[in-house]
Structure 1
Amino acid sequence: MDSQTVGTAKNSTHNDPVAPGWLSGLKALPSALNLNSFSAGLVAAIFGCSGPALIVIGAAQAGQLTNGQTVAWLLAIYLLGGIISLFMGIRYRMPITGAYSIPGAAIMVAAFASFSYQEAVGAFIMAGVLVLILGITGVIGKIMRWVPMPIVMAMIAGAMIRFGIAAVEAVRAAPLIAGLAVIAFFITGRLTRKVPPVLAALVVGLIATFVTGGLQEGASTLAFVMPEFTAPVFTVGAFFGIAVPLAALVIGAENAQAIGVLMAEGYKPPINAMTIVSGVGGILAGMMGGHNANIAGPMTAICSSEQAGEDKDKRYGATVVNGILFGAFGLVAGLAVPVVMALPKALIGVVAGLAMIGVLLSALQGAFGPKLGNQVGSFVAFVVGMSSLNLLSISAPFWALVFGVLASLLADKVMSEKPAKAEPLAKVSG
């Protein structure tokens, strides 16, 4: 029995969909690589390589890491995140996109006040082991299949609506650059199907940036240096202070968002396989000095949206493009960060928000459709997902599911044990 057959057997055991396999994914890849997939993958990469990279650099500075250690951290999460995209995208022919936990990087700013970088590296590896165990046992898959679909969709709408709000704020902050990008997006969508609206928005925004002199000075002073790897130190304190919260963030924020987004677009995501690969990514990233490489919610949302093409079976091409760009960014992180940081934040924000429109529409219709139940639970999940709630170092998307289910059990007349079908959503998203 070959490795692919073994993987399929394991997936079947845990009720994951059977993977089409490498041969099928590679054969169909040329037709999946088109202007739409390129533009969506590029937008996702620019989003993931801009502000989030600064968060990682800020955490590294808080931990007083050397330039070599910082570059090793960036190399780990971007290179492995890109590999995850290529692995999952081609194997499952779905836009299952890898990156890393952005809030996971943010919590390290405070964590370095109590733990050394060596202890943190040990905790990164332990977090990956925790996620891997949860994936192998199938616990996460069982939980996600039990939660009603309207509540999952409401969580996604609440978590992702901040991108829409950020787009509006971007127009206020830079009306010429962001405003022209918005106009280009809608005019292109109205006039032609041959050019992806999000690509038109990006190109027009870049032209406006150069014409108006809107490029910023590089936000990072990192020079191109060789990565410096660090030996891990395993401590009980770091396990509870870093590993447990980080594992919870990977599962409760990143994976939960990605799974919900894929469901909203009509896919049947391999939930346990996504958890397993996030665990393996966490272990490998930790060994290289990074906090976690895993399935990412926002990047999956962009690559699975209608901006990646009308044919959802070909949208995994955007994930492949994103994976290549992510991996390349990791390899030249010391030089690439200042270049990406020179782009105006308003341009990045508005383009990412425009790319989310289809996902948000599908999620809102899936949460509050007239024939769907769990309306109270969906509303609670929606507002909690919108919030900045953080309990026990776990962010809002996880608690949106928890409180949404509890509210539905208490207030809704019927809480369906089986999630509502997602087929109508696929029609909405193209």
Structure 2
Amino acid sequence: MRSAAPAPGRRVAAPDGHPVAAGVVTAVVGFSSSFVVVLAGLAAVGASASEAASGLVALCVAQALGMLWLGLRHRTPLTLAWSTPGAALLVSTGVVEGGWPAAVGAFVVTALLIGLTGLVPWLGDLVGRIPTSLARAMLAGVLLPLCLAPVTGLADSPALVGPVVLTWVLGLLLFPRWAVPASLAVALAVVLVEARSDVDVDALLPTLAWTTPTWTVPALVSIALPLYVVTMASQNVPGVAVMASHGYAVPWRESMTVTGLGTLLSAPFGGHAVNLAAITAAMAAGPLAGADRARRWVASTSAAVTYLVLAALASALTAVVVAAPGDVVQAAAGLALVGTLASSLAGALAEEDGREAAAVCFLVAASGITVLGVGSAFWALVAGLALRPLLAARR
């Protein structure tokens, strides 16, 4: 999902209305390329089908309102997204002590941490002290089991998973930006063909389901802290970098406050984390949104409106995913994360110093172990942070 950069000195022409189209593309690509990962993550920590659908609706609405506020207020093509790496983390974590209400409580704590990051500078500095290689290694370990799903699914159900994988491969060759959305579209088509009678028609209308949060120590340690770290390191920080590369300054404090508030308001309805967009941010801030940089902020507002439309479809898409046979949707979700896995592994192992610590962090995260009720993502960071200074002292 990369946008080709224009040649140096070359002016990129854009027809009237291009920012609007860029915003629509930004929202559609962002939603379609990862909504199944969000549904899988919410279900993994105990959400029912209706609660997962509610979470998807709440996230879409929270992102849209946040983008409208930031875009109109600052005239900047700033886009928001849900935390796809965070959703993958939830898949690897599974149900914690206290079940779904405890997971929702962890989402609330994550929201408070994100909001505090904009208000308390030392909190952001503390996250920044976590070596990037370890944060990426932890994310890569979390993603690995998910990215294996297309392989195992293809072996177990070739007739169902094969068309999804083939579409993804052809997409990478012919239309890279749309490879993941196209494979998801084929996956949904396979589901509709194979499971027409299993789709719950009553669940097609968008609804919000309230869950009163509770708090348990395992949920806070296994979900809240890793979710906060992953969201900051894999979404918010890269999101600022992407915007800077296109010449836009992100209002950091206000952005963290808005995304923290969005996460807080959506959490009781199942939303796990709202953050700055990273990959899709370039679509609204780059040449795709037109040659006039002063008008590109329109792309963020059109993306917001598109997300409100997609919110109306979220429950229907969830009903289709719930009726999916075999490993079709899991395979599509794994394909959606292959690019993130590749970049995470590259970043984790790029530096020779600390490479062993990053490798250990990756392996612990990928193991899926649970110790004292706490999931592998937390222990991966502990192992990496403990080993890294020991190896540095040896050198």
TM range (shorter): 0.5 to 0.7
Is 1:201 paired with 2:190?
Answer: no
Tell me, in whole angstroms, the C-alpha distance in 1 between the residues paired with 2:364 and 2:349: 15
| C-alpha spacing 1:395/1:70, structure 2 compared with 1 (3 Å) | closer
**Aligned counterpart for 2:35 among listed residues 38, 45, 51:** 45
Q: Is the 8 A contact 1:99 1:294 kept in 2?
A: yes
In 2 relative to 1, CA 374–99 (structure 1 residues): closer, same or farther, beyond 3 Å?
closer
What is the SS of the residue equivalent to 1:97? strand
User: In 2, Cα distance between the equivalents of 1:334 and 1:38?
Assistant: 16
Number of the residue aligned with 2:62:
80
Between the aligned partners of 1:318 and 1:346, the Cα distance in structure 2 is 36
Whether the aligned pair in 1 keeps the contact of 2:27 and 2:303 (CA below 8 Å) is no
What is the distance in 2 between the residues matched to 1:395 and 1:267? 35
- Of residues 358, 361, 372 in structure 1, which corresponds to 2:352? 372
- 1:37-78 alpha-carbon deviations (Å, 9 max, x no partner): 744531223443x4346458x5469xxxxx8x9987665445
**Count of aligned pairs:** 363
Report matched runs for 1:272-287 at 5 Å: 275-285=256-266
Q: Which moved more, 1:169-178 or 1:196-205?
A: 196-205
* Alignment check: 8 A CA contact 1:41 1:303 kept: no
**Displacement of 1:164:** 1.4
From 406, 409, 422, give the equivalent of 2:386: 406
Give the aligned residue type for 2:343.
S
Seen in structure 2, the aligned counterparts of structure 1 residues 335 and 29 have a Cα distance that, compared at 3 Å, is same
- Report matched runs for 1:212-223 at 5 Å: 213-215=194-196, 217-218=198-199, 222=203
Supply the distance in 2 between the matched residues of 1:243 and 1:364 (Cα, whole angstroms): 26
Q: Which has the higher contact order (CA 8 A, sep 6+)?
A: 2
Match 2:367 to one of 374, 384, 387: 387
Per-residue displacement from partner, 1:156-176 (whole Å, max 9, x unpaired)? 221222231122122133212
> In structure 2, the residue corresponding to 1:400 is in which secondary structure?
helix
Question: Which AA in structure 1 matches 2:35?
Answer: A
Secondary structure of 2:368's aligned partner: coil
5 Å-filtered alignment, 1:226-237, equals none
Check conservation: 1:41, 1:319, Cα contact below 8 A.
no
**Distance between the aligned counterparts of 1:186 and 1:350, measured in 2?**
13
The answer as to 2:228 corresponding to 1:251 is yes
Q: Provide the TM-score with structure 2 as the length reference.
A: 0.66
**For residues 94 and 283 of structure 1, do their structure 2 counterparts lie closer, same or farther at Cα, with a shift above 3 Å needed?**
closer
User: What residue is the counterpart of 1:146 in the other structure?
Assistant: 129
Deviation (angstroms), 1:216: 6.6
318, 331, 343: which is aligned to 1:362?
343
Task: Measure the CA separation in 1 of the matches of 2:207 and 2:141.
Answer: 41
CA distance in 2, matches of 1:312, 1:159: 30
- Answering whether residue 93 of structure 2 is matched by residue 111 of structure 1, we say no
CA contact (8 A) 2:96 2:103 kept: no
Distance 2:71 2:142 in 1: 23
Name the amino acid aligned to 1:360: L
Cα distance in 1 for partners of 2:24, 2:57 equals 28
Give the match for residue 322 of structure 2: 341
Query: In the alignment, is the contact (CA less than 8 A) between 2:259 and 2:275 conserved in 1?
Result: no
Q: 1:364 to 1:380 in 2, by over 3 A?
A: same
Q: 1:189 aligns with which of 172, 188, 192?
A: 172
Q: Which runs of 5+ in 1 are unaligned?
A: 1-26, 62-66, 416-430
Give the 3-state SS of the residue equivalent to 1:160 in structure 2. Answer: helix
| Change over 3 Å in CA distance of 1:202–1:254 after alignment to 2 | same
Alignment of 1:16-55 (within 5 A): 29-30=19-20, 32-33=22-23, 38-48=28-38, 50-52=39-41, 54=43
Q: Deviations over 1:320-366 (max 9, x none)?
A: 89866664455566655323433446332222322323322222222
**Counterpart in 2 of 1:290?**
269
Q: Does 2:118 align with 1:132? A: no
Task: Kindly provide the amino acid, as one letter, of the partner of residue 387 in structure 1.
Answer: S
Shift of 1:375: 1.0
Mapped to 2, the partners of 1:168 and 1:203 lie a distance apart of 19
Q: Describe the SS at the equivalent of 2:198.
A: coil
